[in-house]
Amino acid sequence: MKNIKEYNLDELQEEMLALGEKKYRAEQIFKWIYVEKIKEFDEMTNLSIELREKLKKEYTMCNFKILKKQEASDGTKKYLFDVLDGNAIESVLMEYHHGKTICVSSQIGCKMGCKFCASTGIKFIRSLTCGEIVEQVLAVEQDIGDKISNIVFMGIGEPFDNYENVMRAIKILNNQKGLNIGARHISISTSGLVPMIYKFADEELQCTLSISLHATNDEKRSKMMPINNRYNIEELMKACKYYIEKTNKRISFEYALAKDNNDNLNDAKELVKLLKGMLCHVNLIPINKIENGDYVKSTNENIIKFRDYLNANGIVATIRRELGSDIDAACGQLRRKSLKE
């Protein structure tokens, strides 16, 4: 059966016409799903019973089941969802002063193999469909009874390895007649799939692009992130410069600081050299040690020194707040534990 959440409004109009229904039915359905946030076709009370029955035969609502929900002491909530085919994914809801942010997954598992990330070592199963990406936002909004204002594609998976579905999901999430989450409030993070960075630049979307950089030379980066063997730092920077030129938007570079690996002042110096003059921002992440992982968190003192060096040398850098660490909801910690339990 088809998932009704795979369709943007214009596509749903086509679907209704194909079913021999009036086009305006699509807008009614779209509003029930994304504005009223109902879960069953039978709740669409302005549709005839016949039409509701017809819809039930054609489509599912794809309502994720919450397998587990954990709340951290800082209010961060981690959801483990049953995606209805026996697989599970996680989404994390974080509270910031500017609103609620959801961190969504784009794939079940990940192929990138970054050495410091908890998604590594777990089998890649498949990419999520666009409806399954959208459903994470809807399911959390339904659960909390409130609106989510920001979305980050920083959960499990590599969003640019599921490019088309991620783009389609963004367009549905954007729709003003639906959830109406503006592109400016959506961030996509990539480990550096260079051809997709060019493609994304050409979309000229208002989303924020984050690049997981983590090291300043190929030797170090390849050790941490195998993707660097495919697209090295020089190629990555070239793509980033193209993106900035094309969109005039600032890139956010993520740099996870690991003790005695990439956190000394020499690394900071190299980072300044690499990013000098670029329209960008550096997001420093205290690395979260994963089970059996080689990388451990830098000392607070080193993290602050690193940030101060960047700021003093013309690179805007901030340290990312660690949310949800007591429930394993912090960066890179998703999924592994839940699978073992």
Residues serving a catalytic function are 90, 331
Q: How far is residue 103's CA from residue 187's CA, in Å, rounded to a whole number? A: 9
- Total residues interacting with ligand SAH, rule: CB under 6 A: 18
Task: Give the nearer residue to ligand SAH in terms of CB position, either 114 or 169.
Answer: 114
The piece of 53-61, 75-83, 110-118, 167-175 that touches ligand SAH (CB under 6 A) is 110-118
Binding of residue 190 to ligand SAH (CB under 6 A): yes
Q: In angstroms, what is the minimal distance from the CB of 314 to ligand SAH?
A: 23
Binder to ligand SAH among 287, 317, 323, 329 (CB under 6 A)?
A: 287
Binder to ligand SAH among 288, 317, 323, 324 (CB under 6 A)?
A: 288
Binding of residue 129 to ligand SAH (CB under 6 A): no
Binder to ligand SAH among 89, 134, 138, 331 (CB under 6 A)?
A: 331
> Binding mask 243-282 vs ligand SAH (x if CB under 6 A, - otherwise)?
-----------x-x--------------------------
Alpha-carbon distances of 301 from 129, 201, 214, 280, 315, rounded to whole Å: 43, 37, 18, 24, 19
The piece of 42-50, 63-71, 183-191, 260-268 that touches ligand SAH (CB under 6 A) is 183-191
Binding of residue 332 to ligand SAH (CB under 6 A): yes
Q: In angstroms, what is the minimal distance from the CB of 24 to ligand SAH?
A: 39
The piece of 20-28, 70-78, 188-196, 302-310 that touches ligand SAH (CB under 6 A) is 188-196
Residues 30-89 that bind ligand SAH (CB under 6 A): none
Binding of residue 94 to ligand SAH (CB under 6 A): no
Binding of residue 165 to ligand SAH (CB under 6 A): no
Binding of residue 154 to ligand SAH (CB under 6 A): yes
Task: Give the nearer residue to ligand SAH in terms of CB position, either 6 or 158.
Answer: 158
Tokens describing residue 260: 């005695």
Binding of residue 193 to ligand SAH (CB under 6 A): no
Q: In angstroms, what is the minimal distance from the CB of 338 to ligand SAH?
A: 16
Q: How far is residue 17's CA from residue 10's CA, in Å, rounded to a whole number? A: 11
Q: How far is residue 192's CA from residue 239's CA, in Å, rounded to a whole number? A: 9
Contacts of residue 105, Cβ cutoff 8 Å, sequence gap at least 6: 89, 90, 91, 128, 133, 136, 155, 156, 157, 334
Q: In angstroms, what is the minimal distance from the CB of 226 to ligand SAH?
A: 12
> Which residue has its beta carbon closest to ligand SAH?
332
The piece of 63-71, 114-122, 172-180, 264-272 that touches ligand SAH (CB under 6 A) is 114-122
Binding of residue 116 to ligand SAH (CB under 6 A): yes
> For residue 212, what are the β-bridge partners?
254
- Contacting positions for ligand SAH (CB under 6 A): 112, 114, 116-117, 154, 158, 189-191, 212, 254, 256, 285, 287-288, 290, 331-332
